[in-house]
Structure 1
Amino acid sequence: MSDATFIADHARAAAQSAPDETGWIYEGREWTWAQAWDSIRRTAGALSGEGIGHGDHIAVVDKNNPAILQLVLGASLVGAATAIVNWRLAGDELDYTINDAGAKVLFVGHELLDQVDVIRDRLTTVERIIVMGGDADEFEAWQAAGEPLEQADGSAVDDTVVLMYSSGTTGRPKGVMLTQRNLVAHTESADTGIAYGEGAKMLIAMPMFHVGGTSYAMFGLKNRVPGHIIRDVEPGALAGAMMSGVTHAFLVPAVVAMLLQAGPDAMKLFSGLRGFSYGAAPMPLTILRGAQEHWPDTAFYQVYGLTEFCGVVTMLHDDEHRDLEHPERLLSAGKPIPGVEARVVDPATLQDAAPGEAGELWFRTEQATAGYHGRPEATAELYAEDGWVRTGDIGRIDADGYVYVEDRIKDMIITGGENVYSPEVERVLSEHPDLLEVAIIGVPDPTWGESVKAVVALRPGAEATEAEIIAWAREHLAHYKVPRSIDIVELLPRNPSGKILKRDLRKPYWTEAARQV
């Protein structure tokens, strides 16, 4: 454990202990730890020059690059928070998120500038837009002109550092507030038991608008392990990173499924991994077994968590993946990591369930979010008494302490590691002129874990087809939220109080599945 108080302390310590060692690698360019720390301090100074200070918010819309980490850590030095916005969002989702964050300065990747230009006049709080990368780059000169700053006086461990937007249970995204305390606790504990060793190099591939990207990148700073950052998860970038000597990676199961489908050569490219972590969605056993067969010398780590915890709260270690006496543990999410308490609660009685009995999974940890930005009611619903956080996941804990995630209370689908809340998609599809009622469910998908399915009833006389409804949805939703298939029915099943019975809609598709999520 380090003695970090603030999340930028890890970057400072890396620069002090290993100034000339490589810190970040990105598209042919390298930063030493000393250069990385200087870039963070100058970002803080440049933000201060824009009038950004304690309690202010900025936002960034870009694909992965070190500038996002520089902004997050630089803003944290002056007491400000960075909203890392999902660049895949459709226009009306994008402006809602930026406005909800209350961002004063918006940083935009040059490839995404056209998307932002369309909504520029709807950004009510943004005072300046700064372009990053490409021929129109403004960021590097802006950053270089910044006066290097240290951690601001008056900084507190409960200052919000990051806003991560998750899809909303009520149809609009919610900003999850992650504080200095939260991120330091996660960085200190969530990679416990993972050995890096001499010559280690991390692949930072998952999108930084997720904790699987940004929180994972923080482990490199703590452990002085260089991070090879790729802009997007695409074959060429993955291959280049692996050929450069990457030893550790975190990926979602969907990426592994695609590698297996690509054949032995693709899998061989990753066979030099010393450690492979996976999560954000269950790994089908056939895919896991295939990966273990192709990567016999790789240590495997499964993780489970939520954005509300900065990421990981449980881990299944490599030796547990190989325990022939307990093969059932491969269906578990492992045990709580250090600093995390877990319990199973009957959602009706709020009493603890007996060992092995199912209920809602609750966790208590310093990693737990301060709440949802501007949503006191949603924050109150998230927290139970004494700091326990309701996950909305149904699961059980066996007599040996292993956590099994089996279903969801929350109406959420995880497809390729992306969270999709059904009400959000239903809100959009319900505006289609030919649809009378809509239910969104998740169904098994061999590549993505789950895929989004719509079950709809048409208005009298309407003749909309599956293809037409999907095409319409693509115009209004990020692509990963668009239903991949649509069932058109006469009526949706309802209980006596009129609530749509989604469990009945899901049941035929999950009959053969080992897990319900």
Structure 2
Amino acid sequence: MTSQLTDVTSTLARWETERPDAVAIRFGTSVARTWSELARRVRQNAAAQRAEGLLPGNRVAVLDLNHPSCIELTLACAQIGTANAVVNFRLAPPEIVYVVNDAAARILFVGPEFAAAVEQVRDRLPTVERVIRVGGPDDEYEAWLAAQQPDVQVHPSKPEDCFVQLYTSGTTGFPKGAMLTHRGMLAHARNVAVDFEIGIDARVQVAMPLFHVGGTSYSLLAILAGAQIMMLRLPDPGAVVEMLESERITHTFLVPALLAAISQVPGVADRDFSSLAALSYGASPMPLPVMRACLKLFPGVMHQVYGMTEACGVVSSLGPEDHDDPSAAHRLVSAGTPIHGVEIEIRDPATGEPVATGEPGEIWVRTEQLMSGYWGKPDESAAAITSDGWLRSGDGGHVDADGYVYVTDRIKDMIISGGENIYPAEIERVLAEHPDVADVAVIGVPDDRWGEVPKAIVVAAPNTEIDGEALLEYCRERLAGFKCPKSVEIREELPRNLTGKVLKKELRKPYWEGRERKLV
């Protein structure tokens, strides 16, 4: 559907012409914008940006919970050559300051929940010329739009031009701005639409935050396919369930932590989810107990996806046929096979040479979906993308003889104990199966003999008490000796970011302070 188009703006014009009165975006109970209304607002947004003096290459920034204005801004940026830097609203104030300043944003759009925080750091945002409040009783965005007539002038964008800048999660240091392009987003929309059958009749739920590819990229692939977006302001489990049923959602993307909460929503098993054609999940490992619960709730529609910000989103998928086939149960821990338009190889992280089938290494990805680089970081961009177009993902894994990709861990999370490489995810999968364990993370901690050894940090299941020694014995029965944790720590919860990724940097920090290994 997007194969003949070279820029994002053309797709919006297409649906405005072909489906002017069809609803493009629904948000809450009061917003239902048709394609013609969306196109008009995007052109007003473009005019307003130009009236502010923004030029091609300039950045705006959004600090807000999900709101249609963020999508309007992104589409307007695509029209005039600017770029929308969407800020992770879960960041601490110093981190927000870093991202806004890193993007050199000239205008900052702020939701009502964050207006007070921005006021406190306003003097630390030297590039921001104007702050515009979005939504709530002090909304300024609607007046900012209404002051302008729609601007139909389209900047002659090149396929490699960036129009949306999403920042990496920041679990391993300061976030980096991935510059996502017309070519990349169009390729992602085209490739995903083929595998997931997203067309104009689809009703796409956008529950994940727009600072994440599971929010913005998922929204854009729906728009580029001509589908209808159903947007939630926050990924509340009860609201997600209610919308899935009442709005007859056909496609959604959710993270495992949210799916775990959804499986506990009262009465969820009695809901009617028969409209669902594809429920995609990813961004962090799915514990097998949660997987089993979801397979009962959503039979025949589960897609595990593996992807990254730097590739605009999804690069591989494990489809329903593998989820529902008992003889393929071993594949439930895989990330499936590459989607259309994507190549995946496993390379030696030290030499960059391909490794043999089944051997571990670093996952490399080549596709038109790739970012153009990290904003303002040429050296890191060159280190991430090779001269022949391969993205070094930083993820460890292997590919089996049938072409299925298995993601083990971040290369940086790998534990090297006595010369042996240990991937924490392998241990975590075993521990997650124990009935007394609700959540688990495995990290490497210093050891005078082995350099470092695995340590399990666990959260007890409700109404249970964990016996650390019994848990270690459970591991010894199921894992090679060198892989077994040498100690267990019990906590009430694990630190996670909004997408469900465990902040292992925070877990490791107290153990490595003052030591030589600076693992981030």
Pick the TM interval, shorter chain.
0.7 to 0.9
Tell me the TM-score normalized by structure 1. 0.80
User: Which of 105, 108, 120 is residue 106 of structure 1 equivalent to?
Assistant: 108
Q: Are 2:279 and 1:276 aligned?
A: yes
Query: What's 1:327 paired with?
Result: 329
| Contact 1:454 1:485 survives alignment (8 Å) | no
Query: What's 2:166 paired with?
Result: 164
Query: In 2 relative to 1, CA 180–137 (structure 1 residues): closer, same or farther, beyond 3 Å?
Result: same
| Contact 1:54 1:80 survives alignment (8 Å) | yes
Give the stretch that moved more between structures: 368-377 or 117-126.
368-377
Correspondence 1:247-262 to 2 at 5 A: 247-262=250-265
| Contact 1:451 1:484 survives alignment (8 Å) | no
Deviation at 1:50, TM superposition (A): 0.7
Deviation at 1:61, TM superposition (A): 0.5
SS in 2 for 1:107: strand
Distance 1:491 1:410 in 2: 14
Query: What's 2:488 paired with?
Result: none
Query: What's 1:207 paired with?
Result: 209
Aligned residues: 456
User: Which of 88, 104, 126 is residue 124 of structure 1 equivalent to?
Assistant: 126
Query: Which AA in structure 1 matches 2:302?
Result: F
Residues 130-187 of structure 1 show CA distances to partners (whole Å, capped at 9, x for unaligned) of 1000111110111122232336243211111111111447732211111111111111
Query: What's 1:222 paired with?
Result: 224
User: Which of 398, 401, 411 is residue 396 of structure 1 equivalent to?
Assistant: 398
| Contact 1:452 1:482 survives alignment (8 Å) | no
| Contact 1:493 1:501 survives alignment (8 Å) | no
Distance 1:268 1:135 in 2: 36
SS in 2 for 1:362: strand
Deviation at 1:124, TM superposition (A): 0.9
Query: In 2 relative to 1, CA 78–493 (structure 1 residues): closer, same or farther, beyond 3 Å?
Result: closer
Q: Are 2:290 and 1:287 aligned?
A: yes
Residues 394-422 of structure 1 show CA distances to partners (whole Å, capped at 9, x for unaligned) of 1111222111111221349xxxxxxxxxx
Residues 464-487 of structure 1 show CA distances to partners (whole Å, capped at 9, x for unaligned) of xxxxxx9xx99xx99987789969
Deviation at 1:35, TM superposition (A): 0.8
Query: Which AA in structure 2 matches 1:22?
Result: V
User: Which of 245, 253, 256 is residue 248 of structure 2 equivalent to?
Assistant: 245
Correspondence 1:108-507 to 2 at 5 A: 108-150=110-152, 152-168=154-170, 171-196=173-198, 200-242=202-244, 243-265=246-268, 268=271, 270=273, 272-296=275-299, 298-411=300-413, 444=428, 498-499=516-517
Distance 1:288 1:183 in 2: 30
Deviation at 1:72, TM superposition (A): 0.4
Query: In 2 relative to 1, CA 141–454 (structure 1 residues): closer, same or farther, beyond 3 Å?
Result: farther
Deviation at 1:367, TM superposition (A): 1.0
Query: In 2 relative to 1, CA 491–278 (structure 1 residues): closer, same or farther, beyond 3 Å?
Result: closer
Query: In 2 relative to 1, CA 238–491 (structure 1 residues): closer, same or farther, beyond 3 Å?
Result: closer
SS in 1 for 2:215: helix
Query: Which AA in structure 1 matches 2:261?
Result: M
| Contact 1:239 1:269 survives alignment (8 Å) | no
Tell me the TM-score normalized by structure 2. 0.80
| Contact 1:5 1:181 survives alignment (8 Å) | yes
Query: In 2 relative to 1, CA 345–448 (structure 1 residues): closer, same or farther, beyond 3 Å?
Result: farther
Query: In 2 relative to 1, CA 479–120 (structure 1 residues): closer, same or farther, beyond 3 Å?
Result: farther
Query: Which AA in structure 1 matches 2:17?
Result: Q
Query: What's 2:9 paired with?
Result: 8
Query: In 2 relative to 1, CA 149–452 (structure 1 residues): closer, same or farther, beyond 3 Å?
Result: farther
Query: What's 1:515 paired with?
Result: none
| Contact 2:243 2:249 survives alignment (8 Å) | yes
| Contact 1:452 1:481 survives alignment (8 Å) | no
Residues 114-136 of structure 1 show CA distances to partners (whole Å, capped at 9, x for unaligned) of 11111011101000111000111
Distance 1:130 1:309 in 2: 30
Distance 2:285 2:206 in 1: 20
SS in 1 for 2:315: strand
Distance 1:449 1:192 in 2: 35
Give the stretch that moved more between structures: 132-141 or 270-279.
270-279
Distance 2:326 2:266 in 1: 27
Distance 1:20 1:77 in 2: 22
SS in 2 for 1:148: coil
User: Which of 49, 59, 62 is residue 61 of structure 2 equivalent to?
Assistant: 59
Query: What's 2:92 paired with?
Result: 90
Query: Which AA in structure 2 matches 1:409?
Result: I
SS in 2 for 1:192: helix
Query: In 2 relative to 1, CA 230–164 (structure 1 residues): closer, same or farther, beyond 3 Å?
Result: same
Query: In 2 relative to 1, CA 25–266 (structure 1 residues): closer, same or farther, beyond 3 Å?
Result: farther
| Contact 2:255 2:499 survives alignment (8 Å) | no
Query: In 2 relative to 1, CA 141–283 (structure 1 residues): closer, same or farther, beyond 3 Å?
Result: same
Q: Please, which runs of 5 or more residues in structure 1 have no aligned partner?
A: 413-440, 458-469, 503-517
Indicate the RMSD between aligned Cα atoms, in angstroms: 3.4
Query: Which AA in structure 2 matches 1:395?
Result: G
Query: In 2 relative to 1, CA 98–253 (structure 1 residues): closer, same or farther, beyond 3 Å?
Result: same
Residues 189-232 of structure 1 show CA distances to partners (whole Å, capped at 9, x for unaligned) of 12322235785311110000000000001122123221110100
Query: What's 1:17 paired with?
Result: 18
| Contact 1:256 1:291 survives alignment (8 Å) | yes
Query: Which AA in structure 1 matches 2:258?
Result: V
Query: Which AA in structure 2 matches 1:27?
Result: G
Query: In 2 relative to 1, CA 257–69 (structure 1 residues): closer, same or farther, beyond 3 Å?
Result: same
Deviation at 1:66, TM superposition (A): 0.7
